[in-house]
Structure 1
Amino acid sequence: MASYRTIVVGTDGSPSSFRAVTSAASLASVTGATLVLACAYAPMRERERNAAADALGELSYKVSGSTPADDALRAAREHAVAAGARQIELAAEEGDAVDVLVALADRLEADLLVIGNRGLNSLAGRLLGSVPSSVSQRAGCDVLIVHTTSGR
């Protein structure tokens, strides 16, 4: 097995992404690597932000900016800790998921980028390209695609 020092794993807060986090955390635990939990987010448009503020009042911060990504990362951290990861960093970054994951792995000189397989077996994924497929083609490091869905 390769000696991994830095492992980046993508999460969007979904149960399937948490399965990828758990796999990456187990590997980080075994290798002593730093685990970077990464979540990409899109900025909220002003009209959406205003509608959320009207509907949610003082709770509107929960859907604005990076807050949803930060929430997903906190939940992912719990899964990573439970799987044995000891050195964990969080990265919520604005942008497209593929761009964020590939750029972050490059910037951190990661040895491994882990992502779930969600989207690989869907019709949209086959026609438009999936995040796992695009990441595996563009990453400058090893990529582990974890089987997180049934594929049905």
Structure 2
Amino acid sequence: MTAYRTVVVGTDGSESSLRAVARAGALAGACGATLVIACAYLPTDPDDRDVRGAADVLKDEAYQVMGSSPAEETVRTAHERASGAGAGDVRTVAVVGSPVEALLDVVKRESADLLVVGNRGLAGIKGRLLGSVPADATRRSAVDVLVVHTTD
């Protein structure tokens, strides 16, 4: 078996997701792999009914970043965390869309061979309605998935 060459990790800026970023950074550094840090976000166009509807459902959840500027700040912070954990070659990308769709798209575009996600997902009724990012990503990914235990 060969070492991973390209690792993708998702972040929403939460401390939990940044723990997954640090683990991905350490793994990428140890393997000499490229680390691609992705943040999915919804545009903040107030005239877009789909965006307003998604924002109403998600409300205060850290699950979805709203707007490109917060997404860019999120990946900058994550880049620092990954570099501090040992990642050498780090790229960042902010992608419009839902977290799972965005991660799977980045994995495909980057020809990644590992996807890293944190184990924290939505709980309660929102989780049942919208799904859990770790569970959905694991189920749908065409590449290996590392689920990092990120909660205390």
TM bracket, shorter-chain basis:
0.7 to 0.9
- Residues 106 and 82 of structure 1: CA distance in aligned 2, closer, same or farther (over 3 Å): same
TM-score (norm 2): 0.82
What is the deviation of 1:2?
4.8
Secondary structure at the residue paired with 1:12? coil
Judge conservation of contact 2:117–2:146 (CA < 8 Å) in 1. yes
Give the aligned partner of residue 144 of structure 2: 142
Count of residues in Structure 1 that have an aligned counterpart in Structure 2: 135
State whether structure 2 residue 102 is matched by structure 1 residue 87: no
What is the deviation of 1:106?
1.1
Give runs of aligned pairs for residues 22-37 of structure 1, distance below 5 A.
22-37=22-37
Judge conservation of contact 1:41–1:93 (CA < 8 Å) in 2. yes
Instruction: Decide which of 92, 97, 100 is 1:98's aligned counterpart.
Output: 100
Query: What are the Cα deviations for residues 76-108 of structure 1, in whole angstroms up to 9, with x where unaligned?
Result: 011011101000000101001000001110111
Give the aligned partner of residue 58 of structure 2: none
TM-score (norm 1): 0.82
Give the aligned partner of residue 46 of structure 2: 46
**Structure 1 segments (4+ residues) deviating >4 Å:** none
- Residues 2 and 125 of structure 1: CA distance in aligned 2, closer, same or farther (over 3 Å): farther
Secondary structure at the residue paired with 2:39? strand
Judge conservation of contact 2:41–2:66 (CA < 8 Å) in 1. no
Structure 1 letter corresponding to 2:18: F
Query: What are the Cα deviations for residues 17-46 of structure 1, in whole angstroms up to 9, with x where unaligned?
Result: 110000000000100000000000001132
State whether structure 2 residue 17 is matched by structure 1 residue 17: yes
Structure 2 letter corresponding to 1:98: V
Rg bigger for which structure? 1
Measured in 1, the distance between the counterparts of 2:25 and 2:47 equals 38
Secondary structure at the residue paired with 1:46? coil
Measured in 2, the distance between the counterparts of 1:27 and 1:125 equals 32
Greater CA drift, 126-135 or 138-147: 126-135
Measured in 2, the distance between the counterparts of 1:73 and 1:66 equals 11
What runs of 5+ residues in structure 1 fail to find an aligned partner? Answer: 49-62
Instruction: Decide which of 132, 135, 139 is 1:133's aligned counterpart.
Output: 135
What is the deviation of 1:47?
5.6
- Residues 64 and 117 of structure 1: CA distance in aligned 2, closer, same or farther (over 3 Å): closer
Judge conservation of contact 1:119–1:125 (CA < 8 Å) in 2. no
